[in-house]
Amino acid sequence: MSKLLANYFKLRATESRGYLRSIISKYQYQLKSAIDQTIKAILLNAEAQSAVGPYHITLNSANIIEELNKKLATIDGTLASVTKKRGSVSTYEVTKSSYENLCESLQIQPVLYQEDE
């Protein structure tokens, strides 16, 4: 989304992310449903790396990662935040407990680990 904004308004990437963050903040209550739907879709596409986690999500939006972490902080401030996977450009890791709490908060069924045969 920030790339689209940057191209449309001829902004640098950091400027577009800042504008997008401001818009999300200003209209947070109007955007809540859309943000929650986006987060649900991301969580339903997560891949469990083992039965005990972590879960991997692939995403090109730092703003959505921010929203995931805000939601985690709202649920329970002691939960681990979503972090970038080491050595990856756009893959993030979510601990099993954080993932399950996000799913419970959004009332969706968590993706279960499927062992390769």
Q: Which of 32, 34, 45 is nearest to 94 (CA)?
A: 45
Across the strands, what pairs with 91? 58
The pLDDT assigned to 13 comes to 76
Q: Which of 7-21, 35-49, 50-64 has the lowest mean pLDDT?
A: 7-21
Average pLDDT, the chain: 90
- pLDDT, tens digit (0-9, with 9 covering 90-100), for 50-103: 999 899 999 988 889 999 999 999 999 999 999 999 999 999 999 999 999 999
Query: Cα dihedral sign for 28, 33, 34, 36?
Result: positive
Report domain extents, the chain: 31-105
**Amino acid letter at 76?**
D
Tell me, rounded to whole angstroms, the distance of Cα 62 from its chain centroid. 8
When pLDDT is cut at 50, 70 and 90, the band that residue 106 belongs to is very high
Mean pLDDT computed over 38-51: 95
The pLDDT assigned to 111 comes to 93
The pLDDT assigned to 116 comes to 66
Mean pLDDT computed over 28-42: 93
The pLDDT assigned to 4 comes to 66
Tell me, rounded to whole angstroms, the distance of Cα 90 from its chain centroid. 11
When pLDDT is cut at 50, 70 and 90, the band that residue 43 belongs to is very high
Q: In what order do the strands lie in the sheet with 55-58?
A: 47-48, 55-58, 91-94, 83-84
